[in-house]
């Protein structure tokens, strides 16, 4: 999208839309109206420049915005004196911060049925999850309440909600975008990144957010592969149909998509190892303040607190070996493709389907850039995402490839 | 060094030298005479090719050589059916494996006063340490019992003994040389690499051992810096004099060497964090078989076994933050220079001086390539090393720079 000529009018329009819509979907937990109007006025005065000048951004409420309470989806919270570097970079690029969005409690979960701040509903079907943990950010973009949003992704938390809301979610290379000022969940695995309407928007956000990038050589037509371990996971029929259709169009674009083996790669076992790493880090991070957390979160942190160091060491080594195997695969292939989730959004008042984030871990422990783009769905179906993963450092190449894929999946 | 025309004669000469010398210094714990003769015969038949064809190599006894017991410096051990990939690569390049060298118990320590397999003596001064944990490998090269040796380095175990024996020790980028088949000490921090007489020899070994390398751009004249936190550590007078002389020659070669701050970098605190990571991994690796270890090692592993996962998580995060700061510094600088150790070799029958490996951790938790080259010492002093560290992935550039530095430190 292009910067609008009048950031003041656009900001006002979004603030109105939030007033009208937010009560229904609970995307925002805090709207910083006055500050947004001020920033819009500054953006209006500045000439053109950054691609995101005048964009109105929703910020996941685990990211520090100076003077605004950060809840991290938990009771209480803190009022940071300083912006997180990602917020400072957005401001420097002339973006307008509209407010803070709801998330799954402590960013540890994928549905955003937050016990402290309420449920976030999928704007495309009320009562259904917008995904998580960045559910509020995705819902805000999908409901037309902002131009783009910031999310964080430790185990799929950007890509899952983007998939469920028909959006683009981009988790960059580990540490390509600084995580300082983002409430940590798992130091080893946390990432921050954008949720947007298009891949072009994700690129514009990434360029504003990322540390300076080294140029990398990448082919125009990537070699795309599927993983046999991913292909063995069961898909909901609507997702299976859309995935088959997407693969067909991908092959027409980039040539044959072979299915390859990744030796020793077991997505379910690795999800468990990653969860263990998250529980240990989260127990260290939240230390003695589990008391006011939900029983489910408290149970996970208690488990993490009681784990032994050698048990954690073993889990981390499992993840390290998986990363090695993935990096080896990236010597032969440019892109790994999979669905983002095996199912479309499900009711918030029911249980989460098993295996909701089984496609998500790989890019996290490999530290590899991964993007979810909407698949072409049959009439009446909720959205689902196609995930593309590239080698660490190849963020810009992945965005180029994903934009071409988006062009064939969502033509016109 | 160039491959000798007659590998058979050279191998025989080394085997004779080992027979004559090894009892005194205890560099080798196992000499595989018949196998070496066979390999020499094959190497003699093959034409020229690899730079290391016909080289006679000593192998640290934590690296698997098919059919030969691996002790890892502990009682017992195992007889592996397969070569470690590094051994297979040396064989493929036409090298001859002479045998296995002594190490500090379980590769966890820096003196090689091994309680199970005896002390290794510094060939330059009997009764003094050859350093560790790859003490036997360094002693074998320094005593002229082989052309080059393999070591491993989790906290300085290649660079420290190279420094104490007047040799070149090269710890490459994390995972640039595969560690499979090398008894693990700490999965997160283990590296394998060569100990050689010259930087050119280290490069020849590295090229034979490393995975295929991506070309990297690097300036011919690197920007070299010192770290204020390193400069604050006390040096033994002989090392201080040699370090000042080395810096002068380095500045004449590459221009001014500025002293820079690395925010939050505390070598002593980080050594403790790394030791904690080592103790946790080692406790997982050695699990229930601490009983026949020395009391000192048992104490460390007991400590690791009893640590909590959140405590380990905190230590790993400390190392991760330090790595980030180091990688940021490498955007401004090409090489960090320091002494390898603050002291020359010390008597085996006394205590280890405190701070023996304080300069060693940085390159380990940064996963950065680091090399120790001999400094010019005053008459009668034992050797000490100058450490050069470069950004991860810049191994070949570091070797080029180090060769030029070697040229001014050890002219002629």
Q: For residue range B177-212, what is the model confidence (pLDDT) as tens digits?
A: 999 999 999 999 999 999 999 999 999 999 999 998
> How far from chain centre, in Å, is Cα A308?
31
- Chain B residues whose beta carbon lies within 8 Å of the beta carbon of residue A324: 175
CB contact set of A208 (below 8 Å; sequence gap of 6+): A50, A51, A52, A89, A90, A93, A95
Please check whether residue B238 is in contact with residue B381, taking contact to mean a CB–CB distance below 8 angstroms.
Answer: yes
pLDDT band, residue B155 (cuts 50/70/90): very high
Please check whether residue A142 is in contact with residue A164, taking contact to mean a CB–CB distance below 8 angstroms.
Answer: no
Contact B310 A287 (CB under 8 A): yes
Burial A213-249 (b: 16+ CB within 10 A, else e): eeeeebeeebebbbbebbeeeebbebbebbbebbbeb
On the question of pLDDT at B5 being above 70, the answer is: no
A100 is catalytic: no
Q: How far is A185 from chain B (nearest CA, A)?
A: 12
Residue A216 has a pLDDT of 82
Residue B30 has a pLDDT of 98
Contact A280 B313 (CB under 8 A): yes
Instruction: From residue A113, give the alpha-carbon distance in Å to each of A151, A190, A397.
Output: 16, 21, 35
| Strand A56-60, strand A28-31: pairing | unpaired
Closest in A284, A311, A331 to B314, CB measured? A284
| The residue to which tokens 């991908």 are assigned | A250
Q: Which of B157, B338, B357, B372 is catalytic?
A: B157
- Rounded to an integer, what distance in angstroms lies between the CA atom of residue B203 and that of residue B216? 16
**Mean pLDDT, rounded, for A127-139:** 98
On the question of pLDDT at A227 being above 70, the answer is: yes
Q: Which of A110, A133, A137, A294 is catalytic?
A: A133
Inform me whether the C-beta atom of residue B313 falls under 8 Å from chain A C-beta atoms. Answer: yes
- Rounded to an integer, what distance in angstroms lies between the CA atom of residue B26 and that of residue B29? 7
What is the per-residue DSSP string for A335-383?
Answer: EEEEES-SS---BTTSPPPTTTTTTTHHHHHTT--EEEEEPPPPTTPPP
The residue that leads in pLDDT, B411 or B383, is B383
On the question of pLDDT at B3 being above 60, the answer is: no
Please check whether residue A180 is in contact with residue A353, taking contact to mean a CB–CB distance below 8 angstroms.
Answer: no
- Rounded to an integer, what distance in angstroms lies between the CA atom of residue A99 and that of residue A80? 14
Instruction: Tell me the β-bridge partners of B68.
Output: B65
pLDDT band, residue A5 (cuts 50/70/90): low
On the question of pLDDT at B241 being above 90, the answer is: yes
Name the H helices within B166-260. 199-209, 228-231, 237-254
What proportion of chain A, given as a percentage, has pLDDT over 70? Answer: 99
Q: How far is A246 from chain B (nearest CA, A)?
A: 33
> How far from chain centre, in Å, is Cα B291?
28
B50 is catalytic: no
User: What number of other Cβ atoms are within 10 A of residue A269's Cβ?
Assistant: 13
Q: For residue range A70-103, what is the model confidence (pLDDT) as tens digits?
A: 999 999 999 999 999 999 999 999 999 999 999 9
- Chain B residues whose beta carbon lies within 8 Å of the beta carbon of residue A314: 284
Q: For residue range A232-288, what is the model confidence (pLDDT) as tens digits?
A: 999 999 999 999 999 999 999 999 999 999 988 999 999 999 999 999 999 999 987
Closest in A212, A281, A314 to B313, CB measured? A281
On the question of pLDDT at B2 being above 70, the answer is: no
Residue A3 has a pLDDT of 46
- Rounded to an integer, what distance in angstroms lies between the CA atom of residue A146 and that of residue A54? 11
Q: For residue range B158-181, what is the model confidence (pLDDT) as tens digits?
A: 999 999 999 999 999 999 999 999
Contact B311 A284 (CB under 8 A): yes
What proportion of chain A, given as a percentage, has pLDDT over 90? Answer: 92
On the question of pLDDT at A354 being above 80, the answer is: yes
A299 is catalytic: no
SS3 call for A386: strand
- Rounded to an integer, what distance in angstroms lies between the CA atom of residue A358 and that of residue A360? 6
Residue B49 has a pLDDT of 73
Inform me whether the C-beta atom of residue B320 falls under 8 Å from chain A C-beta atoms. Answer: yes
**Mean pLDDT, rounded, for B95-104:** 98
- Rounded to an integer, what distance in angstroms lies between the CA atom of residue A224 and that of residue A334? 6
On the question of pLDDT at B266 being above 50, the answer is: yes
Q: For residue range B304-332, what is the model confidence (pLDDT) as tens digits?
A: 999 999 999 999 999 999 999 999 999 99
Q: Which of B10, B60, B100, B323 is catalytic?
A: B60
What proportion of chain B, given as a percentage, has pLDDT over 70? Answer: 99
The residue that leads in pLDDT, A401 or A44, is A401
Residue of A nearest to B286 (CA): A310
Q: Which domains can be identified in chain B, with CATH numbers?
A: 1-412 (3.90.1300.10)
Q: How far is A214 from chain B (nearest CA, A)?
A: 11
On the question of pLDDT at A2 being above 90, the answer is: no
CA dihedral sign of residues B142, B79, B76, B156: positive
B285: tokens are 């690796």
On the question of pLDDT at B4 being above 60, the answer is: no
């Amino acid at each position: 999208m292009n910067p609008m000529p009048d950031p003041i009018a656009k900001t006002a329009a979004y603030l109105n839309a939030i007033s009208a819509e937010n009560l229904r979907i609970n995307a925002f937990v805090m709207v910083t109206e006055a500050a947004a109007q001020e920033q819009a006025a500054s953006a209006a005065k500045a000439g053109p420049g950054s691609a995101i000048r005048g964009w109105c951004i929703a910020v996941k409420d685990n990211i520090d915005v100076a003077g605004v309470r950060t809840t991290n989806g938990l009771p209480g919270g803190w009022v940071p004196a300083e912006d997180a570097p990602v917020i400072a970079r957005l401001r420097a690029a002339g973006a307008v911060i509209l407010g803070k969005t709801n998330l799954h409690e402590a960013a540890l979960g994928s549905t955003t049925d937050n016990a402290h701040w309420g449920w976030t509903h999928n704007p495309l079907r009320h009562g259904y999850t917008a995904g998580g943990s960045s559910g509020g950010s995705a819902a805000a973009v999908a409901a037309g309440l902002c131009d783009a949003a910031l999310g964080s992704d430790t185990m799929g938390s950007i890509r899952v909600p983007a998939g469920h809301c028909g959006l683009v979610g981009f988790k960059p290379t580990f540490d390509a975008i600084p995580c300082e000022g983002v409430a940590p969940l798992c130091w080893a695995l946390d990432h921050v990144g954008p949720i947007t309407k298009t891949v072009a928007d994700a690129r514009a956000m990434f360029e504003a957010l990322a540390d300076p990038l080294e140029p990398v050589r990448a082919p125009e037509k990537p070699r795309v592969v599927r993983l046999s371990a991913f292909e063995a996971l069961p898909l909901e029929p609507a997702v299976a149909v859309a995935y088959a259709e997407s693969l067909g169009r991908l092959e027409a674009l980039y040539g044959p998509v072979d299915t390859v083996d990744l030796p020793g790669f077991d997505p379910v076992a690795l999800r468990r190892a990653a969860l263990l790493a998250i529980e240990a880090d989260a127990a260290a991070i939240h230390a003695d303040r589990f008391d006011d957390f939900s029983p489910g979160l408290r149970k996970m942190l208690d488990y993490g607190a009681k784990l032994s160091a050698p048990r954690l060491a073993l889990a981390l080594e499992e993840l390290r070996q998986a990363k090695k195997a993935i990096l080896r695969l990236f010597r032969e292939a440019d892109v790994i493709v999979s669905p983002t989730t095996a199912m479309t959004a499900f009711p918030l008042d029911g249980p989460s389907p098993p295996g909701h984030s089984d496609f998500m871990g790989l890019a996290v422990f490999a530290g590899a850039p991964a993007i979810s783009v909407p698949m072409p769905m049959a009439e009446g179906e909720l959205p689902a995402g196609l995930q593309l993963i590239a080698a660490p450092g190849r963020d810009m190449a992945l965005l180029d490839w994903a934009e071409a894929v988006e062009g064939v999946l969502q033509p016109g």
